[in-house]
Amino acid sequence: MEYWTCNDKNTFAYDTLARRIPIILTNVINDLSQHFNAQKTVIEEFIALKNRLVKNKIIEKFEDLGFGDENTWNTEIEKSQPTFFDCRWLFAECYIYRQMFQIISKSNTIELDIFEYRKNETLKNNIQLMIDYAEIFSKYKSKNDLNNLLKDCLWGNTLDLSLLAGQKSAAPCNAHILADDSQDFIEKVFPCEKIHIVLDNFGLELFIDLCLATFLLDHNLVKVVVFHGKAVPWFVSDVTKIDFQKFLELLSQPEFENIPAFQSLGRRWREFVECSKFVFRAEKFFTTYLPFEELQSFDSSLHEEMKSDGGVIFKGDLNYRKMTNDSKVSEITGWVNVTKFDIPSLLVRVCKSDTLVGLKSMVHVDDSNWRTKGKFGVIQSLNCSKC
């Protein structure tokens, strides 16, 4: 099997390491000095990380600071002692975000979210979209609307801050959904006691994901929704525990008192948390570089729990890459060739990277970059009866 690596200059993987991540690091460095008043040593460490990346140095092992995943990373690094651009793309990108967290952990500011300023800015820009979406969501009265809601969840994934480093996102439309297996997943999984949603981005996407969870509870399709977020700030806009808590509080702020839909959703979501119908968790597995087929060996109890509960909805491009192991294959390659993951799953993902599998036919588009522009999307099921 071939995987996307960073050393081929004609790939989006190379562009990510050579252009996008340095922009993200520069933004972090600027934010730390302008908005967080960070210690000089912390800023210097970020500058050093950026220099090591642009000079394509051999990557360094992690210090054991007790987070618990250091051995997993270091064992992999020791195997080949690669430079940044020698690495597999998925590994290199996750490694850089994990290094950013190490810098913060070593300072006395472990609670600092280096992406908080960017996330807050996005949130401000997303408010009107969330108000508009609350109106759409209020019209979904029947169980049959679940398919539309899943499509909304898909397009909610269009925006993410790591992708917007230096470029604009394209507007999506339903004609650009390359696969929609939602019915297979719905028939296989619902009703069930508990569904797991592996979250992606903060802002509008989280808002629509919470609407989906509300719909599933309201229609007795599930009794509990477990949201899996990130244990550390990740890929700029991914949801952490603090983001999740802040989001639920946000809707009942005085500035929104004239928006009844916000008031009522905010109140209901906080009640769902209080009576444990909404549960937020942030397992370490989701901030490793490991593909999902390694869940069983990294965290067997989470794997067992997900398997016995029913199903998992995976949001976004990074989760898709982790499911497909970032394999460099044609889009008609079957799922069995790229993953051994064995739990009924639904992958709801706007295409922002080259990896694409499991389609019925080849896609022909008059734009060689169509796979990475965020204009196409897939809703694909895995381990469901008909797939």
Ligand X SMILES: O=P(O)(O)OC[C@H]1O[C@](O)(CO)[C@@H](O)[C@@H]1O
| Shortest reach from residue 237's CB to ligand X, in Å | 6
Three-class DSSP category at 367: coil
Site for ligand X, residues 198 to 227, rule: CB under 6 A: 200-201
Site for ligand X, residues 243 to 262, rule: CB under 6 A: none
The Cα angle at residue 317 between residues 315 and 323, in degrees rounded to 5? 80
Q: Given the rule CB under 6 A, which of 44-52, 56-64, 305-313, 317-325 is the region that contacts ligand X?
A: 317-325
Site string for ligand X, 334-363 (x = CB under 6 A): ------------------xx----------
Is residue 39 within 8 A of residue 106, CB to CB? The reply is: no
DSSP 8-class letter at 223: S
Q: Given the rule CB under 6 A, which of 104-112, 130-138, 300-308, 315-323 is the region that contacts ligand X?
A: 315-323
| Shortest reach from residue 283's CB to ligand X, in Å | 17
Nearer to ligand X, 222 or 318 (CB): 318
The CA distances from residue 103 to 32, 49, 114, 212, 223, in Å, are 12, 9, 11, 36, 40
State the pairing for strand pair 278-281/377-382. unpaired
* 96, 163, 312, 313: residue in contact with ligand X (rule CB under 6 A): 163
Site for ligand X, residues 73 to 102, rule: CB under 6 A: 93
* 4, 84, 85, 235: residue in contact with ligand X (rule CB under 6 A): 235
Q: Does 326 bind ligand X (CB under 6 A)?
A: no
* 82, 203, 311, 316: residue in contact with ligand X (rule CB under 6 A): 316
Is residue 155 within 8 A of residue 279, CB to CB? The reply is: no
* 188, 230, 303, 321: residue in contact with ligand X (rule CB under 6 A): 321
With contacts defined by CB under 6 A, how many residues of the chain interact with ligand X? 15
* Dist. CA 314–CA 320, nearest whole Å: 7
Site string for ligand X, 30-69 (x = CB under 6 A): ----------------------------------------
The CA distances from residue 152 to 12, 57, 95, in Å, are 26, 42, 31
Nearer to ligand X, 204 or 222 (CB): 204
**Hunting for tokens 């619902």 — which residue is that?**
190
Q: Given the rule CB under 6 A, which of 52-60, 146-154, 187-195, 314-322 is the region that contacts ligand X?
A: 314-322
Query: Which residues are 180's β-sheet partners?
Result: 379
| Shortest reach from residue 220's CB to ligand X, in Å | 30
Q: Of the candidates 26, 4, 28, 14, which has an alpha carbon nearest to the alpha carbon of residue 236?
A: 28
Q: Does 317 bind ligand X (CB under 6 A)?
A: yes
* 102, 126, 162, 383: residue in contact with ligand X (rule CB under 6 A): 162
Q: Given the rule CB under 6 A, which of 45-53, 154-162, 250-258, 261-269 is the region that contacts ligand X?
A: 154-162
Nearer to ligand X, 217 or 351 (CB): 351
Nearer to ligand X, 82 or 377 (CB): 377
Query: Where do the H-state alpha helices sit in 239-376?
Result: 241-250, 260-274, 295-298, 300-309, 316-324
| Shortest reach from residue 281's CB to ligand X, in Å | 18
The CA distances from residue 87 to 14, 69, 348, in Å, are 11, 19, 27
Q: Of the candidates 197, 274, 206, 195, which has an alpha carbon nearest to the alpha carbon of residue 228?
A: 197
Three-class DSSP category at 78: helix
Nearer to ligand X, 96 or 251 (CB): 96
* Dist. CA 45–CA 47, nearest whole Å: 5
CB count in 10 Å sphere of residue 35:
13
- Positions touching ligand X (CB under 6 A) are 16, 93, 157, 160, 162-163, 200-201, 235, 316-318, 321, 352-353
